[in-house]
Amino acid sequence: MIYKDLRRSIIVGHRKPGERLDLDVLAKGYGTSVTPVRDALQMISQEGLVTIKPRSGYFVTRVTLKQLDDMLKLREILELASVELASEKITEEQLDQLEHVHAGYTGEDDESYDRYMDENRHFHYLIAQSSGNQELAETLGRLHDRLVRFMVMCRVGATLESRHALIIEALRKGDATVARQVMLNEVDETRETILEGVIQESGSSWHLKVPDKKITMFGEKALPGDVICPG
């Protein structure tokens, strides 16, 4: 429960990048000792959402816009490779698994979006697994863990299942060209929405330090000051 609650609070933006997570304060809030809180933070740190600093404590992870842009570009490479390979190798059993990933739309609340993001990760992980390359699947899964805070910004809960249905349809037909294009559309739209949202929210809730230039979906663009973002 502590793990899911802390993770959700980071994913939906209640805890900001760079924020210190005090073990004693959290333990008091949950009515427990510090041990289960520490265990939960250790688990979350393995997903790249929390940074552990020796002799300093636990902090919500920060990323630069360059790191974010690099991760989004890497996601495109991995997702397209996954779906192209899967279109040749996926089995009926694996297709059935994909069709049962989503539990339906239940609203725009934090708990629902926590579930939507878990389902989205599982869906893309299963496609990568279907490619026959487990290392590809594990790498993509870890990347989704690092990007999940940003993906929440897209607010696609109501359309996520229908978007994924198009990918399943193309995979069932073994049509690599259509499957690749549908995946590319989803990945590109997500990337643009995330980067636009990050830049629009740049002086308030995102604490991303950027050296000299800011990265947008249109390339590099000089912007005044540091841009701030949950990563």
pLDDT at 213 over 80: no
Specify whether the CB–CB gap between 9 and 148 falls below 8 A: no
Cα–Cα dist 113/151, whole Å: 10
Q: What is the pLDDT of residues 17-72, one digit of tens each?
A: 899 999 999 999 999 999 999 999 999 999 999 999 999 999 999 988 899 999 99
Is CATH 1.20.120.530 the classification given to domain 65-201?
Answer: yes
CA distance 26 to 46: 19
In angstroms, the Cα distances linking 169 to 3, 57, 61, 87, 213 are 35, 47, 37, 10, 41
Q: Do domains 2-60 and 65-201 have the same CATH topology?
A: no
Kindly state the percentage of the chain with pLDDT values over 70: 87
Is pLDDT of 229 > 90? no
Residues 221, 213: Cα–Cα separation, whole Å: 6
Torsion of CA 194, 199, 203, 207, to 10 degrees: 50
Model confidence over 78-101: pLDDT tens digits? 999 999 999 999 999 999 999 999
Across 17-50, b (16+ Cβ under 10 Å) vs e yields bbeebebeebbeebeeebeebbebbeebeebbbb
Place of tokens 């900001």: 16
Which helix or strand (DSSP H or E) is residue 182 part of? helix 176-200
pLDDT at 202: 55
Output the average pLDDT for the chain: 88
Would you list the domain boundaries of the chain? 2-60, 65-201
3-state SS assignment for residue 28: helix
CATH number for domain 2-60, candidates 1.10.579.10, 1.10.10.10, 3.40.50.2300, 3.40.250.10: 1.10.10.10
**Report field, pTM of the whole predicted structure over 0.95:** no
Residue 220, pLDDT score: 41
